[in-house]
Amino acid sequence: MVLAVGELLLRRLGTAGVPGAGPLVQHLTLWVGFLGAVVAAREGRLIGLATGELVPARYRRGFEVAAAAGGAAISALLARAGFDLTRIEREAGGQVALGIPIWVGLAVVPLAFAAIGLRLAWRSAPTWRGRGPALAALGAGLLLGARPEWVEGAPSWAGLAVVVAGALAGMPLFAVLGGAAVWLFLADGIPIASVTAETYRLSVSPTLPAIPLFTLAGCFLAEGKSALRLLEVFRAAVGWFPGGTAVVVALLCAFFTTFTGGSGVTILALGLLLFQALSAEGYSDRFSIGLLTSAGSLGLLFPPAVPLVLYGIVASQPIPELFLGGLLPGALLVGATAVWALAEGRRVERAGNPFSWRRLGSALWRAKWELALPGVVLATLFSGWATIVESAAVAAAMAGLVIFVVHRDLPIARLPRVLLDATLLIGGVLLILGVANGLSSYLVDAQVPMRLLDWAQSELGSKWLFLLALNLFLLLVGCLMDIFSAIAVVVPLVVPLGLAFGVDPIHLGIIFIANLELGFLTPPVGVNLFLASYRFERPLLEVTRAALPWLALRAAFVLAITYLPFLTLAFLDR
> What pLDDT digit, counting tens, does each position of 260-314 carry?
765 566 787 778 888 888 887 788 889 999 998 888 888 889 888 888 988 998 8
> Rounded to 5 degrees, what angle do the CA atoms 6, 7, 10 make?
80
pLDDT at 104 exceeding the cut of 70: yes
Q: Note the residue count of the chain.
A: 574
Closest CA to 291 of 237, 243, 220: 243
Of 338-342, 372-376, 464-468, minimum mean pLDDT range: 338-342
> Rounded to 5 degrees, what angle do the CA atoms 329, 259, 11 make?
105
Distance (Å, rounded) from C-alpha 363 to C-alpha 377? 22
Q: What is the pLDDT of residues 123-152, one digit of tens each?
A: 998 898 889 999 999 999 999 999 998 998
Of 114-123, 188-197, 278-287, minimum mean pLDDT range: 278-287
The model's confidence at residue 242, banded by pLDDT at 50, 70 and 90, is confident
CB distance 109 to 86 below 8 Å: yes
Residues 6+ apart with CB under 8 A from 127: none
Crossing angle (nearest 10°) for helices 226-238 and 357-366: 160
Tally Cβ neighbours within 10 Å of residue 364.
15
Preceding peptide of 524 cis, ω within 30°: yes
Query: Judging by DSSP bridges, how do beta strands 100-101 and 95-97 pair with one another?
Result: antiparallel
pLDDT of residue 55: 62
pTM of the model: 0.85
Of 16-20, 53-57, 363-367, minimum mean pLDDT range: 53-57
Distance (Å, rounded) from C-alpha 128 to C-alpha 116? 18
Distance (Å, rounded) from C-alpha 304 to C-alpha 319? 9
Mean pLDDT, range 98-106, rounded to an integer? 91
CA distance readout (Å), 128 to 125, 487, 564, 570: 7, 39, 59, 61
CB distance 259 to 253 below 8 Å: no
Tally Cβ neighbours within 10 Å of residue 350.
7
